[in-house]
Structure 1
Amino acid sequence: MTTAAVLSGYALLTGTAAPYLLARARWLHRAPAAAITAWLGLAVTFVVSGALACYHLLLTEPHVHDGLVGLLTACGLVTGGPARGAPPTPVDLAAVLLPAALVLLPAVCLTRISWRAHRTRRRQRDMLALVGTPSPRYGATIVEHEVPAVYCLPGRAPRIVVTSGALRALSDEQLRAVLAHEDAHIKGRHHLVHAAVAAFARAFPFLPLARLAREQTALLLEMAADDRALRGHPREALAAAMYEVAAGQTPHLAMGAGGSGSLIRMRRVLDPPPKPRRATTPAIVLTSSAAPLLPLLLACGPMP
């Protein structure tokens, strides 16, 4: 019961208190890529610790001293383990099925979201083939629309879309800066992070971690794309382009350079925060990767 209490507390802390602390961290906007890893690490940690907490809460006495391996062996899921004693009871089986359901729920949501996104983007690409004009000069598809907008359709056959209004509003340097931003989304496969966070939010809609992770990662992905674009383009050019396309509407599931958070991003581009220390990013990534391992080390070995 002590292990179950510790794991439950760990899951509760990860799902409720930790997200608010992370959202207020000053280093988030300094290292957006590492911050995204931190949010994903918290999500995985919640699922792992929650599943193990459910298992230990339902665990019955005959298998307590054999740990998770002992119960799986008794249920016929693992061979050669340390199972002994009475055959598994319905509660023992629930101790396996309930944690499995907790893990499979976001996985099922991710599968459904990914499949629907694939169909939606395929329809959007088919529409672009009818109304758009390829531009080899910019590596994009030009669409007639008076409102300046630049966005990308990620996926297996990615497209970058530029409206005719954006062509008139942006200089060549500004346009290439914002195109580099969209290219960063495509090459970084940012749509996969969007899908993963959306699946987690759908699986646990009332969890503070799910809501904050979805809000924060959307902005952090845009900042990460900004940083990639700034490697080869002036800050003033990217900020001006962001200003011009800020009001542009993007299709569902597309990733645009404008939209919500544009003001915060423009300020960050023009007045960049201090760069994090060299050890900061590796430390964040290492901590985020290790966080899900702690409940595993606590729960999965034989218990005294």
Structure 2
Amino acid sequence: MTTVAVLAGCALLTGTVAPYLLARARWLHRAPTAAITAWLGLAATFVVSVALACYHLLLSEPHVHDGLVGLLTACGLMTGGPARDSPPRPGDLAAVLLPAALVLLPALCLVRISWRTHRARSRQRDMLALVGSPVPRYGATVVEHGVSAVYCLPGRSPRIVITSAALRALSDEQLRAVLAHEHAHLAGRHHLVHAAVAAFARAFRGLPLARLAKEQTALLLEMAADDRALRGHPRVALAEAMYEVAAGQTPHLAMGAGGSGSLIRMRRVLDPPPKPRRATAPAVVLASAAAPLLPLLIACGPMV
């Protein structure tokens, strides 16, 4: 029961306490890409901790199979573990199936979200083919609309969309800056991260980690795209473009330069925070990748 308590405590801290601490960290907006990795690492750690806690709680006789490694060996799912003559009991099999279901739950949510998203974006692209006009100069599609907006439809056949109002309101330099922001979304495949976080939030509704990860990741993805755009465009041009398209409503499942968080991002673009230390981003990424291994070490430590 000690292992169960430790794993449950790890899941509790990861799912309720750590998200609030991470959301208040000062370095988040300085290194948005590393911050996204940190949120994903917390989510993975929570899932692994809960799954292993359920496994050890349901395992009727842990000494029979010498822990997780022994049980997987007895079930034929792993080789090289301790050999046992007795087959696994129904309770032991349930101890494997329930954790597996907990791990598969966000994966199934991801498949469902991805399928619905694909169908919705396909319909939007078909509509753009009817009402939009391609502009090869910018590699985008222009649609008639009275509100300035610039957004992208990611996927297998990505599209960048500009409203006619935005085309009139933005200068060439501003337009190219905001288009670089959208190209950054497409090149970085940010929609995949967004889908993964949305699937986690749907699988574990009500969990503080799920809510905060979804909110924070959406803003951090926009900041990461801003940073990519600023590599080749002036800060003032991007900030002015963001101001012009801030009120624009992008279609559902699209990723736009405006919308919520525009004010925070404009302030960040015009008054950039101090750059993080060189070791900060690699350290965060390494810690995020190693975090899900901690509950595994707690559960399997004696057998490693």
TM-score bucket of the superposed structures, by smaller chain: over 0.9
Between the aligned partners of 2:76 and 2:134, the Cα distance in structure 1 is 58
User: Is residue 215 of structure 2 the alignment partner of residue 209 of structure 1?
Assistant: no
Q: Aligned residues, how many?
A: 304
Is the counterpart of residue 138 in structure 1 residue 109 in structure 2?
Answer: no
Deviation at 1:29, TM superposition (A): 0.4
Change (3 A) 1:85 1:58: farther
In structure 2, the CA distance between the partners of 1:243 and 1:53, relative to structure 1 (3 Å rule), is same
Kindly state the Cα deviation for residue 151 of structure 1 after the two structures are TM-superposed: 0.2
The answer to whether the 8 Å contact 2:65/2:84 transfers is: no
1:89-108 matches, cutoff 5 A: 89-108=89-108
Give TM-score, length-normalised by structure 1.
0.97
Alpha-carbon distance in structure 1 between the residues aligned to 2:239 and 2:79: 60
Question: What SS does the corresponding residue of 2:66 show, helix, strand or coil?
Answer: helix
In the aligned structure 2, how far is the partner of 1:4 from the partner of 1:87? 24
Q: Does the CA-based 8 Å contact 1:113-1:195 persist in structure 2?
A: yes
Where does structure 1 lack aligned partners over 5 or more consecutive residues? Answer: none
Matched letter for residue 292 of structure 1:
P
- Aligned partners of 1:63 and 1:83 also within 8 Å: no
- Find the counterpart in structure 2 of residue 180 from structure 1: 180
Q: Which runs of 5+ in 2 are unaligned?
A: none
Cα distance between partner residues in 2 of 1:302 and 1:7: 15
Counterpart position of 2:8: 8
Q: Is the 8 A contact 2:23 2:212 kept in 1?
A: yes
Q: Does 1:276 align with 2:276?
A: yes
Write the deviation string for residues 49-79 of structure 1: whole angstroms up to 9, x where unpaired: 1111111111222545622121123334335
Runs (4 or more) in structure 1 with deviation over 3 Å come to 62-65, 76-81, 301-304
**1:183, 1:79 → 2: CA distance?**
46
Trace 1:67-82 onto structure 2 (pairs within 5 A).
67-79=67-79, 81-82=81-82
Contact 2:8 2:49 in 1 (8 A): yes
> RMSD of aligned C-alpha atoms?
1.4
1:40 and 2:16 are equivalent in the alignment = no
Report if the CA contact (8 A) 1:144-1:163 is conserved. yes
Distance in structure 1 (CA, Å) of the matches to 2:204 and 2:191: 20
Structure 1 segment 1-304 matched on structure 2, within 5 A: 1-61=1-61, 63=63, 66-79=66-79, 81-84=81-84, 86-303=86-303
Calculate percent identity across the aligned residue pairs. 87
CA contact under 8 A between 1:59 and 1:91: conserved in structure 2? yes
Q: TM-score, normalised by structure 2?
A: 0.97
